[in-house]
Structure 1
Amino acid sequence: MAAFNLSPSDTSTFILRGIPGMEDSHVWISLPYAICYIFCLLGNVSVLFVVGKEQTLHQPMYLLLCMLALTDITTSTCIVPKALGIFWFNLEVITVSGCLTQITFLGLAFVMQSSILMAMGFDRYVAICNPLRYATILTHTRLATFGLISLIRGILCALPMPLMMSQLPICGKRIIAHTICEPILVAKILCGDLTFYRLYSLGMTLTLVGLDMMLLALSYFLILRAVLRISSQKAHHKALNTCTAHISVMLMFYTPYLFFIMINWFGGSIAPHVQIFLANVYVLVPTMLNPIIYGVKTKKLRDKMKKFICRM
């Protein structure tokens, strides 16, 4: 409780205000946060447990889904506990190192999730376009190598921004009108030349996300071309049905992200509390829905989940 006595002028801390102007409603606003987090943990932990326990699910598609579940848990855990602390107990103080750590882990989880979605697109491409070589192309060793590479890629992409911020002095008020340490808002209270930050943010969006989306588009172009060559209508439906879960998760991830980027760049007229809501919806809702979508759309996983629930 001593944290309440800290002031915004404390040189080692920031103040997260939650949702400014809606302080009286913070308790009610916290309910969807808590519900999303509970469902996120239940869904993703269930996926990890069922896939880990069932030998028949030790296939590339489900192992990639486990990687996605880990990034979802990381993302929501970086955000929700601190947000609930603000809403319930007015724990608005966060250390500068804690703030930069949050930015790092959110960036790491985002880059890894984008990489995993790209790998899932490649997985669907091999399964449909080259099914006879599926087991030899997507081996466990290659998946482990991919996981390590995506982790290294995430670290290399996520670290420069907080490292740059840690070197700049803070000259503005140490108040961040948000529930999380949004990099754009942190940058606004820093002194010095922010050219690197702006170029890095733009470069990350255009190269990293743009590259992953281009590779995903190429995968689905090749999948569609292969499916159209199949004469059987039933085979058409079966082939495309295996992609629906991934397409849904992919759209849920990239569409809000691009929309959120547009808001940050051009949405100056949008009320701050609306922007905060949209930012949290973009992060929290997919982490909750991803395991549900795959559980509903993937028959083998759905059946194993049912057996697991019945045993409980």
Structure 2
Amino acid sequence: MDVVALKNREGLDLSVVAEPLPSPPVILRPSEKTVGLDLLLGEVWSVLQDDKVESMRIYGMGCVGKTTHLKRINNEFLQTGYEVDVVIWVVVSQQGNVEKVQETILNKLEIAEYKWKDRSVHERAEEIISVLQTKKFVLLLDDIWKQLDLLEVGIPPLNDQNKSKVIFTTRFSTVCHDMGAKNIEVECLACEEAFSLFRTKVGEDTLNSHPDIRKLAEIFVKECKGLPLALITVGRAMAEMKTPEEWEKKIQILKRYPSEFPGMGDRLFPLLAFSYDHLCDDTVKSCFLYCSIFPEDYEIPCKLLTQLWMGKTFVKQILKEKILLKN
């Protein structure tokens, strides 16, 4: 009877009796164990505390560890005393567009769908701005391929008053330049760091299973050229191989037929092929492929390479295309 009386009371709305808890300001992002990124993380953290720096770029070649580094930055907000209302993670990628970025942000901010579903880009941006301008936020944009208009997305102007930040990863220095950000480069690992990462994946038991294996492991590390994803892929593939004969056989496969090495064909090569396929035009692809005529580990002088490109008319074609674009 008491429940019926409450339901009949004028002005009492019992349509919603419970609300879901709001999502935490930072969501943990699982990632590979990192090696050699401590200095970079320290650099990023010093930039975050500089109110004069509004955005920063993390750039470098494909598979070098930019996304892993960004994940570690994201997770660091869970462990430090850095005060922030919300950390927003958005994967942009080559096909990314403003609408996709907006939708991810709107969902993270838990803005009701009726306020933005089937609305224009401009209307969505207004909803995002109305929320973000009241918060101290960090926006993490992973894998940007072209300039992104943050104001069009709905990101309010950053300044030393709101102390919000935007951090993004990209392969392209031109994108970073266009967005006017602080520059942080992620490079391939040095020899010692590369071996350390490889060792964590292959395991101490395997490395110590025969006196010759450690030397063979150093050959693998050298072949991977400090590329983290290659080191991880190769290390995992060799984890169960505990005889020098097995290691020597795999070294030959990696050198002569790398696409047949376990994990390379389905994990590493597709990412590298994707980067190649999205070079700006066939002329640039030809310039890139021309480097393959040089012997392994050969240091190619830029002047010599340019002269050879000119001899093959590659450079002339690039200049011609630039003139046509200007006109």
- Place the TM-score, normalised by the shorter chain, in its bin: under 0.3
Greater fraction of residues in helix: 1
Give the TM-score taking structure 2 as reference length.
0.23
The answer to which structure, 1 or 2, has the higher relative contact order (CA under 8 A, 6+ apart) is 1
Give the TM-score taking structure 1 as reference length.
0.24
Q: Rg bigger for which structure?
A: 2
Greater fraction of residues in strand: 2
